Amino acid sequence: MLSIRSLSAGVEDKPDILKRISLEVKAGEVHAIMGPNGSGKSTLAQVLAGHPGYIVTSGEVTYLGQDLLALPAEERARAGLFLAFQYPVEIPGVSNAYFLKAAVNERRSRQGQEELDAMEFLQLLDEKLRVVEIDRSFVNRPVNEGFSGGEKKRNEILQMAVLEPKLAILDETDSGLDIDALKTVAQGVNRLRRPDNAMILVTHYQRLLQYVEPDHVHVLFDGRIVKSGGKELAFELERKGYDWIREEVAAGEPVGR
């Protein structure tokens, strides 16, 4: 589904945040990308989603057979890519329902499907609200405005449920959540997991991974994937902390992929 080959990227002031990253994600898989602060996790998420502030200096990304990097952000989204933001943006004056309906219908019309009318959309919304266990009052509030940190993250999961992405990237969706909110978010994610879609969970801690079991875990360190493994790698990281990786990197031991 997603094939990242030797991707290097950064921002204008720091063009070398990501250094020759390679990663293969297949349909049905959940990948976790872990790493300490400043290792480039969020940069990878933003680059994949098409944030115009990031510059790709080399490498290729193929998504469902297309050159992902050649597409603007909105076309990536219409092709089924979804980023759950680490810091969801507040949009005053625009209700969640309007925003979601516009997004759903924009995509449907691009894919040659008939657009949903107000009744059909509300039906879809109700169904998704049940899946992610979110209160209906959410949808009439302005997008993220005045939401608590936990509400913002849950709203991201609601959007993901409604937009039904093929590839979802969750950027630190677990950060700043108390245990109940974390469970709700994890439950939502698990319910949206299907054999024909894939997810990339970007996270600092492994606590989300206690509830959402990944197929593969990668450790990102100083812009490189320095270690990949199964879910047990996450628990090892939790036990030993990131210093262990730091020492291995310093000793020149790890093998990047």
Partner 1 sequence: MTATVATAKDRYLAEFEAVERLGAFRSPSWLAPLRRRAIDRFAESGFPTTRDEDWRYTNLTALGATPFRPAAPWPAGVPAGVLERLALPGVEWPRLVFVDGRYSPKLSTARPLPGGGQVASLAEAMITEGDMIERHLGRHARWDGNVFAALNTAFVQDGGFVCLPPEARGETSIELVFLATTPGVVAQPRTLIVAGLHSRLTVVERYVGLTDEAYFTNAVTEIVAGPGAAVDHYMLQEQGAEAFHVATVHAALGRDSAFDTCGATFGGRLARTTLTLELAGEGARGAINGLYVVGGRQHVDHHVTVDHAVPRCASRQLFKGVLDGTARAVFNGRIIVRPDAQKTDATQTNKHLLLSDGVEVDSKPQLEIFADDVKCTHGAAEGQLAPEALFYLKSRGLGEETARALLTYGFAHEVLERVAVEPLQAYLDRLLMARLGSDRTTKEIA
Residues that bind partner 1 (CB under 8 A): 49-53, 72-74, 76-78, 82-83, 85, 88-94, 98-99, 101-103, 105-107, 110, 142, 159, 163
What whole-number distance in Å separates Cα of residue 239 and Cα of residue 187? 25
Q: How far is the CB of 207 from partner 1 (least distance, A)?
A: 26
**53 vs 195, beta carbon nearer partner 1:** 53
Q: How far is the CB of 88 from partner 1 (least distance, A)?
A: 7
CB–CB of 143/58 below 8 Å? no
Q: Return the number of other C-beta atoms located less than 10 Å from residue 72's C-beta.
A: 10
Amino acid at residue number 134 = I
Radius of gyration of the chain (CA): 18
Q: What does the CA dihedral 233, 41, 199, 74 come to, rounded to 10 degrees?
A: -170
Q: How far is the CB of 184 from partner 1 (least distance, A)?
A: 21
- Residue recorded with tokens 């020759």: 20
**92 vs 195, beta carbon nearer partner 1:** 92
**11 vs 103, beta carbon nearer partner 1:** 103
Q: Which residues, in sequence order, are CB contacts of 180 under 8 Å at separation 6+?
A: none
**51 vs 183, beta carbon nearer partner 1:** 51
Q: How far is the CB of 230 from partner 1 (least distance, A)?
A: 30
Q: Which residues, in sequence order, are CB contacts of 212 under 8 Å at separation 6+?
A: 30, 186, 189, 190, 193, 201
Q: How far is the CB of 231 from partner 1 (least distance, A)?
A: 28
**3 vs 105, beta carbon nearer partner 1:** 105
